[in-house]
Structure 1
Amino acid sequence: MTGEHQTLALVLFGVFVAVTLAITSWVSRGRRGSAVEFYAGGRLFSPMENGFAIAGDYMSAASFLGISGLIALFGYDGLLYSVGFLVAWLVVLFLVAELVRNCGRFTLADVVAARMRERPVRIAAGTSSVTVSVLYLVAQMVGAGSLVALLLGGTGAAAQTWTVIAVGALMVVYVSWGGMRATTWIQIVKAVLLLGGAVTLTALVLVRFHGDVDRLLRTAADRSGHGTAFLAPGLTYGGDWTARLDFISLGLALVLGTAGLPHILSRFYTVPTARAARRSVVWSIALIGGFYLMTIVLGFGAAAIVGPQAVRASNTAGNTAVPLLALDLGGGAGSTGGTVLFAVVAAVAFATILAVVAGVTLASSASVAHDLYASLRRGRGEPRGEVAVARAAAAGIGVVAIALGLLARDLNVAFLVGLAFAVAASANLPVLLYSLFWRRFTTRGAVWAVYGGLVPAVALVLLSPVVSGSPDALFPHADFQCFPLQNPGLVSIPLGFLAGWLGTVTSTEPPDAAKHAETEVRSLTGAGAA
């Protein structure tokens, strides 16, 4: 990339970082000591504001960079991510949004612990939430590294390393300084920028093909090297039984995982009522649905205009397809239009990453402080001390995410998010649904449901082709693979539900009928909700 590209994009990066730091400073003045302020922003956001924030939290680097890149490289099979990410919100809307808002205060563990013995349940749910959050953060780190490496000429390891470290440092600052209130406004600003950028690029792609979508698809197929197979299912997930089972596994993880993501669940506590939580989800579905329709156009547009070969040459996982598309749409390398459009898109993508990592880091640090720390000091810990622990936890989680992000920098970001969704669907969703809907559910069942999904999910990922045994693995020269699927959801999600059922039916401690009745009334009516 030319010096013009680098300078302009870096200036835009700097402007966005300065503006968001100013927002963080402004909204957090005099509001740093309260747990409700730090975790939930005072519960003062309107449904529209929260809907935009949820969209900003959810439309991550996996969506903007990863999905478009997968479609550019693999055509129809890349669409699974767009469909799965969107359909998942129906599960959130109809099953969990209102009930979670009524039953909890800040985290997933609040919902489960309402009718169980607190300490074992909070430790289990907190551990699971931190694990899911770290996996999700790794994907954002990889996206940031790929983006800035492209900006600086694709020089590889050095640019990616420093970028990942910088993103990690910024996310710690956002969370520890501003809490949920600042994070929410950053996500709202980012959602507006991202939707504006996606609309602009989509319009330019359609103008390039004079509004003829059929011509766009045929051109993408011709340049792909796969012909019409590029537009049909099976290019990636067809063929042998392993690939087809991987398709089912990924679909299950994407559709069921959203309802178990800690940073999504925590957003329902930032509004005053359950009705507002439901309306927030409706707003977010409208925004996210429109965005994912545009990622389809951008993915096939990158295949048709840039070409899969050029995308793969820039980044083997396809993470740079959209910036390369913007460069071409603006007039090509060296042109003023190309320079400006590339710089704007790169800055918007970087803003996307910063906003998402802030939200995920806040959710994971809340789990550490409110669940793990507070469960050990229940009755002794003060809210102010809990918030201090959350700020410290944000720094520790940032260090772990940076280290794993550097290790996984050659993997597609949408694929990495798929793994996080699988762990969330395996460990968090079973315990959440059982707690809300099963009268006989017990403390043992809750603990077994979390660990019965979490441990197999993580273990199967470690033993899969993602980590070893293939040229694209994290450790390509090692081979301890013994699980054939890349996504563990097909096995680990049923195991989570099975473990929760088994723990409950073998429990010697009867369920507390009074607590269940209280929780049921509160979940359905909101009576007594925080």
Structure 2
Amino acid sequence: MGGGDVVGILFFILIVGLTMYITFWASRRMTGTKGFYAAGRSLTGWQNGFAIAGDYLSAASFLGIAGLVALGGYDGFMYAIGWLMGYVVVLYLIAEPMRNSGKFTMADVLAFRLRQKPVRVTAALVTIAISTCYMVAQMVGAGAIIQLLVGIPYEIAVIFIGILMLVYVSFGGMIATSWVQIVKAFLLMFATVFLLVFIAFIYQFNLSSLFGEVAAQNGFEFLMPGQLYTNPIDLLSLGMALILGTAGLPHILIRFYTVPTAQDARKSVIWAMALLGIFYITITIVGYGANVIVGPETIAAADSGGNMAAPLLALYLGGGPGTLGGEIFMAAIAAVSFATIVAVVAGLVIAASGAFAHDIYTNVIKRGHATDKEQFRVARITAIVVGALSIALGILAQGLNVAYLVVLAFAIGASANLPTLIFSLYWKRFNTKGAVAGMAAGLFTAVGLVIIGPNIMGTNALFPLENPGIVSIPVGFLTSFIVAIMTKPDKMEGKFEEMDVRTNTGLGAE
């Protein structure tokens, strides 16, 4: 075993030990369902902002964007911009009303003024669908990346990550999950800035020299759009899903319940946007640096999707293959990648378990009469079941290209969740039938178009676009609107006015 391997193992042990300590600390402070689902509403604005960034910045962001830029140039940056711009929608339309009108899940907002049973069941199913898509993609990526970086067999890597995730969620709930995400955000920002400083030093802190070398090696068009995404309609569809889907991702939306006030919810979005903006600009430069320092052939040989661009850059910056410095640098980036994956998956498990335990079990099966102890027990059992299922699906999907599942999750969020949230919060005439129909139409259209699209059917695809958002998002909005207009309003006198006052003032939010 080489010195780099020893250091790599030490880095992994350090991160696992730190997160286990956080879980132990959180388990002693978690009481009842509020602690499990919402961290006792104890996070400040900056803490929740870091947690949102930690929850949002998955392996697709850290490893994927660097690889996309390294192999595809400017188009990889366009992908990152879609993720960042989604928080503008969250900030202006969603964050404060969510915090003031809900309790633990997205369905709480809908059920405030619509009929409980149908909207909770439908919203829970959509949440579980989004979480499953996102989780399988994360687990498959995690297993493959950890196998490449550390040499652990794929199945063992997936099981290990799944077990860690279950420990965080089951024993520490949202408190442990939030602090693991905060620590992960600090580590991720440090790692990307660390790589940036080394690149800047090599080019004497003149990044125009870097871009000049990129153009010299790849051609000037590499710095222009159109290399990775040649179909502008598909790119537009992708952008729509990424920008609008952020405001419909359940594991992001539930983060607004972890702060004590709506003002803190807004502050947390601003903190998250600042962190994400810095990160995506930095990781773009890291991607270009990997292109010229490592070389696209070496990156593609290690992983065809480019996911090894950032770790390989660290290897070369530390001295290159076979050097102790290079192995140490690469081990550090590998450890940060590991923390990134575990933190995101833990957030997804919280969202999925909350959807079943709080929405379906407590408010549908038990009609709101379950005790805190019963809710807590069901939430933990659900978390274990969801975690075990994600491990099984991750192992079964080994070797499959599941990158499209991340975009599908965003498309479902934008097509099913966002229309019902917007209409429920801002349109008095909206009703239960419109909400259920819109969520169902958005979900089935997004999933159906992916199934008959190039991602699944290849050259025999019946739908020409890889990204369904340009069709499924209008379908979700129009279905909600048309069904609501054509059916009778719910007999919930005064509930919209009450909701309007609460979302704008916070009066009665607790």
| TM class, shorter-length | over 0.9
- Measured after TM superposition, the shift of residue 511 of structure 1 is 5.4
The one of 372, 387, 398 equivalent to 1:383 is 372
User: Residue 6 of structure 1 contacts residue 151 of structure 1 at CA under 8 Å; is this kept in 2?
Assistant: no
Provide the residue aligned with 2:46 in structure 1: 48
The TM-score with structure 1 as length reference comes to 0.92
- Cα gap change, 1:152 to 1:287, in 2 (>3 Å): closer
- Cα gap change, 1:244 to 1:369, in 2 (>3 Å): same
- Cα gap change, 1:412 to 1:210, in 2 (>3 Å): farther
Distance 1:407 1:432 in 2: 34
Provide the residue aligned with 1:109 in structure 2: 107
- Measured after TM superposition, the shift of residue 416 of structure 1 is 3.9
User: Residue 440 of structure 1 contacts residue 511 of structure 1 at CA under 8 Å; is this kept in 2?
Assistant: no
- Measured after TM superposition, the shift of residue 405 of structure 1 is 3.1
Distance 2:53 2:402 in 1: 18
User: Residue 134 of structure 2 contacts residue 405 of structure 2 at CA under 8 Å; is this kept in 1?
Assistant: yes
The one of 334, 349, 353 equivalent to 1:361 is 349
- Measured after TM superposition, the shift of residue 412 of structure 1 is 7.1
Q: 1:260-271 maps to which residues of 2 (within 5 A)?
A: 260-271=248-259
Provide the residue aligned with 2:470 in structure 1: 490
1:298 aligns with 2:286: yes
Provide the residue aligned with 2:139 in structure 1: 141
- The unaligned stretches of length 5 or more in structure 2 are none
Provide the residue aligned with 1:25 in structure 2: 24
- Cα gap change, 1:67 to 1:495, in 2 (>3 Å): same
Distance 1:371 1:259 in 2: 20
- Measured after TM superposition, the shift of residue 172 of structure 1 is 1.4
- Cα gap change, 1:379 to 1:267, in 2 (>3 Å): closer
Q: Kindly provide the amino acid, as one letter, of the partner of residue 21 in structure 2.
A: A
Q: Kindly provide the amino acid, as one letter, of the partner of residue 40 in structure 1.
A: A
Aligned residues: 509
Output one character per residue of 1:100-153: Cα deviation in whole Å (capped at 9) or x when no partner. Answer: 000100110000000011000000111111111111222322332232122245
Distance 1:484 1:3 in 2: 49
Provide the residue aligned with 2:325 in structure 1: 337
User: Residue 138 of structure 2 contacts residue 341 of structure 2 at CA under 8 Å; is this kept in 1?
Assistant: yes
Distance 1:15 1:136 in 2: 27
1:172 aligns with 2:166: yes
The one of 48, 52, 57 equivalent to 2:55 is 57
The one of 378, 383, 386 equivalent to 1:394 is 383
The one of 189, 194, 199 equivalent to 1:200 is 194
Q: Kindly provide the amino acid, as one letter, of the partner of residue 193 in structure 2.
A: V
User: Residue 418 of structure 1 contacts residue 487 of structure 1 at CA under 8 Å; is this kept in 2?
Assistant: yes
Distance 1:404 1:140 in 2: 11
Output one character per residue of 1:326-353: Cα deviation in whole Å (capped at 9) or x when no partner. Answer: 0001110111211111111110111111
Provide the residue aligned with 1:92 in structure 2: 90
Cα RMSD for the two superposed structures: 1.8
Output one character per residue of 1:433-470: Cα deviation in whole Å (capped at 9) or x when no partner. Answer: 01011110000011011111011111111222212326
| Structure 2 counterpart SS, 1:18 | helix
Q: Kindly provide the amino acid, as one letter, of the partner of residue 426 in structure 1.
A: S
Q: Identify the range of structure 1 (192-201 vs 165-174) with the bigger mean alpha-carbon deviation.
A: 165-174
Distance 1:347 1:456 in 2: 38
Identical aligned residues as a percent:
50
- Measured after TM superposition, the shift of residue 380 of structure 1 is 3.3
- Measured after TM superposition, the shift of residue 222 of structure 1 is 4.3
Provide the residue aligned with 1:10 in structure 2: 9
The one of 476, 498, 507 equivalent to 1:518 is 498
Distance 1:463 1:389 in 2: 37
Output one character per residue of 1:1-50: Cα deviation in whole Å (capped at 9) or x when no partner. Answer: x7433332122112211211111012211634x11111011111111111
- Measured after TM superposition, the shift of residue 215 of structure 1 is 2.6
- The unaligned stretches of length 5 or more in structure 1 are 471-478
Output one character per residue of 1:75-97: Cα deviation in whole Å (capped at 9) or x when no partner. Answer: 01111121111111111111110
Distance 1:47 1:90 in 2: 17
Q: Identify the range of structure 1 (178-187 vs 404-413) with the bigger mean alpha-carbon deviation.
A: 404-413
Provide the residue aligned with 2:239 in structure 1: 251
1:124 aligns with 2:138: no
1:439 aligns with 2:428: yes
The TM-score with structure 2 as length reference comes to 0.96
Q: Kindly provide the amino acid, as one letter, of the partner of residue 317 in structure 2.
A: L
User: Residue 62 of structure 1 contacts residue 139 of structure 1 at CA under 8 Å; is this kept in 2?
Assistant: no
- Measured after TM superposition, the shift of residue 409 of structure 1 is 5.0
The one of 202, 205, 218 equivalent to 2:212 is 218
Output one character per residue of 1:186-235: Cα deviation in whole Å (capped at 9) or x when no partner. Answer: 111111111111110011112122223233223334444xx222111111
Q: 1:489-508 maps to which residues of 2 (within 5 A)?
A: 489-508=469-488
The one of 372, 380, 383 equivalent to 2:360 is 372
Output one character per residue of 1:269-315: Cα deviation in whole Å (capped at 9) or x when no partner. Answer: 01111011111111111111111110111111111111111111111
